Amino acid sequence: MSRTEKGVKATLITISVNIVLACVKIFTGVLGNSYALIADGVESIMDIFSSIIVMQGFRIGSKPPDDNHPWGHGKAESLAALFVALLLCLVAMGIAAQSIHNIIVPDEGPAPYTLFVLVLVIFSKEILFRFLMKKSADLDSLALRADAWHSRFDALTSLAAFIGIGIALLGGKPYASADDWAALFASGIILFNGARILRSATDELMDSIPQPNIEARIRDVAKKVRGINGVEKCRVRQSGSGFLVELHIEVDGNISVYEGHKTAHDVKDALIGSGIGIIDAAIHVEPSEPN
């Protein structure tokens, strides 16, 4: 099974789970008069949309280079993560606005059975988070990792709703707004998570430097190739799960153009076969300084 197929399969599982949970939470929240649970259900609906975006990101990102996209389509995954992050931020602001309104204009407290539903939801979401994190690590996918954290923070919003409903039930009418305070707290968690994912996605789209050890590993691989006297420049940018590299190598200035060209190809082959995840490499040959 290809990387794309694995990513799409994981996303379809996520969508299926979120459809069930969203229906259960919203239905129970309406019947049980719990806005925290309804807000949690709305967040699950956003999970569904975000998972669809992630799935499309996988499909587009797996396409090979073409005339219009000579570097491939890997940035589609970063765009998918960006849209997921924006959705999270919008959902957080909507939940916060409604929570504040409910705090100002109090309603009757939630029903006790809403707590049992939340226990099931929290358990399900934590399992989904662990499943997606494992898949994102296996496939080295930012978009899938963003979806995983979406599930983890959904579990935390459900936990906040559980605490709020519990306080409202134990405290009686004077504490009925605890349910809405829980929803407000949950919106803060969602917003924080959205901002964090937004920053990571933006960094990738802006070709920010990947992990510091990636450049060091690339330099080490290049230096081990026969005929290389040094590596002057190394530029790396991420595209989906892989990296695009521009490398300036130093060789003996007295060798022929043919030999220099062959050395450059040897370096490129070594980098692509290194296991680092390099998709393509542009190698520039420069003469080394005479001793």
pLDDT-derived band at 255, boundaries 50, 70, 90: confident
Q: One-letter amino acid identity for 282?
A: A
Report the C-alpha gap between 284 and 213 in whole angstroms.
Answer: 22
Euclidean distance between the first and the last CA atom of the chain, given in angstroms as a whole number: 52
Domain limits of the chain? 3-205, 212-287
Report the C-alpha gap between 281 and 267 in whole angstroms.
Answer: 9
CATH superfamily of 212-287: Cation efflux protein, cytoplasmic domain (3.30.70.1350)
Q: Please name the residue ranges forming H helices in the chain.
A: 3-31, 35-61, 75-104, 114-139, 142-171, 178-205, 212-223, 257-272
Closest C-alpha among 177, 270, 179, 184 to residue 223: 270
What is the rounded average pLDDT for all residues in the chain? 79
263: CB partners within 8 A, 6+ apart: 225, 226, 227, 228, 249, 251, 255, 285
Q: What is the pLDDT of residues 140-155, one digit of tens each?
A: 776 677 778 777 777 8
Average the pLDDT over 265-273 and give the result: 88
188: CB partners within 8 A, 6+ apart: 92, 96
Report the C-alpha gap between 158 and 123 in whole angstroms.
Answer: 10
Indicate the CATH number for domain 3-205: 1.20.1510.10
Burial class, 9, CB count within 10 angstroms (exposed 0-12 / middle 13-18 / buried 19+): middle
| CATH fold match for the domains 3-205 and 212-287 | no
Q: What is the pLDDT of residues 13-70, one digit of tens each?
A: 888 888 888 888 888 888 887 776 777 777 777 777 767 776 766 676 667 766 777 6
Predicted structure pTM score: 0.59
Q: Are strands 242-251 and 230-239 parallel, antiparallel or unpaired?
A: antiparallel
pLDDT-derived band at 197, boundaries 50, 70, 90: confident
Report the C-alpha gap between 148 and 7 in whole angstroms.
Answer: 12
**Residue owning tokens 């959705």:** 87
At residue 290, the pLDDT reads 61
Beta bridge partners of 239: 242
Report the C-alpha gap between 41 and 43 in whole angstroms.
Answer: 5
